[in-house]
Amino acid sequence: MSSQQLLMKDVCVSFSGFKAISELNLTVRQGELRCLIGPNGAGKTTTLDLICGKTKITSGEIIFNGQPIHRLKEYKIARAGIGRKFQVPSVFRELSVRENLAIGNSRDPGILSNLFRYGTGDAIEQTEKLAKLVNLEDELDKPAAYLSHGQTQWLEIALVLAQDPALVLMDEPTAGMTAQETRKTAELFIRLRGQHTLIVVEHDMGFVRDIAETISVMHQGRLLAEGSVDEVSQDPLVREAYLGSGGIGHA
């Protein structure tokens, strides 16, 4: 592991007087796969919103690659190398998987110009490589509307990865997936580890156990505990607040 890539320092955010995030301190190293867990309302999705600029902090600092980003507009944070996959997949349903990936692959925001250019050799190779990475190599010519829910999630993950972000934020990537799709998603994330830094918000504790290097547990807008799966499982505060006596595998 190399240097720290993301630092959230004493971050607070209030909505109409309600403190959604309270003095949150989080450090994520380059190439790390960090899982963010906690009960509903703990502030996990809000934390991702703050990192990508969708929500602005009330106080504190967010530093990415040594630069403060908390005052930047959303698109500038994206250009700095932060990609985000939201809970609900948003893909171009009427276009094929290949066409979706061609648009995602382009640095040019004009959709039409991308479609005219996607037949070039480099673009085809990159598109096929991405499709293979997310288990969609056999679905390239299928309209996105006909993909299963899990495949749609994979396509959106591919669209985020197409921009080659240094930091990828994933909000419940396995929601609605079958057990087999969840297993394949775990394999994908393990392959991505080290190539990208990943912060994954997830409720599926089996999935978290499979992929996590470090887990950060949030509770009521604060960081409650941090460590490996086993360390977090044994933490009495975590058990009391979230996991119950069955431990992390049974949450």
Task: State the span(s) of the chain assigned CATH 3.40.50.300.
Answer: 1-81+166-251
Fold that domain 1-81+166-251 belongs to in CATH: Rossmann fold (3.40.50)
Report whether pLDDT(246) > 80: no
* pLDDT tens string 88-108: 667 999 999 999 998 887 755
Mean pLDDT value across residues 160-188: 93
Mean pLDDT value across residues 196-212: 93
* pLDDT tens string 124-135: 888 899 999 999
SS3 for the chain, per residue? Answer: CCCEEEEEEEEEEEECCEEEEEEEEEEEECCCEEEEECCCCCCHHHHHHHHHCCCCCCEEEEEECCEECCCCCHHHHHHCCEEEECCCCCCCCCCEHHHHHHHHHCCCCCHHHHHHHCCCHHHHHHHHHHHHHCCCCCCCCCEHHHCCHHHHHHHHHHHHHHCCCCEEEEECCCCCCCHHHHHHHHHHHHHHECCEEEEEECCCHHHHHHHCCEEEEEECCEEEEEECHHHHHHCHHHHHHHHCCCCHHHC
User: What pLDDT does residue 251 have?
Assistant: 42
Mean pLDDT value across residues 229-250: 73
Q: What is the mean pLDDT of the chain?
A: 88
Percentage of the chain modeled with pLDDT above 90: 69
Report whether pLDDT(186) > 50: yes
User: What pLDDT does residue 117 have?
Assistant: 52
* pLDDT tens string 36-57: 999 888 999 999 999 999 999 9
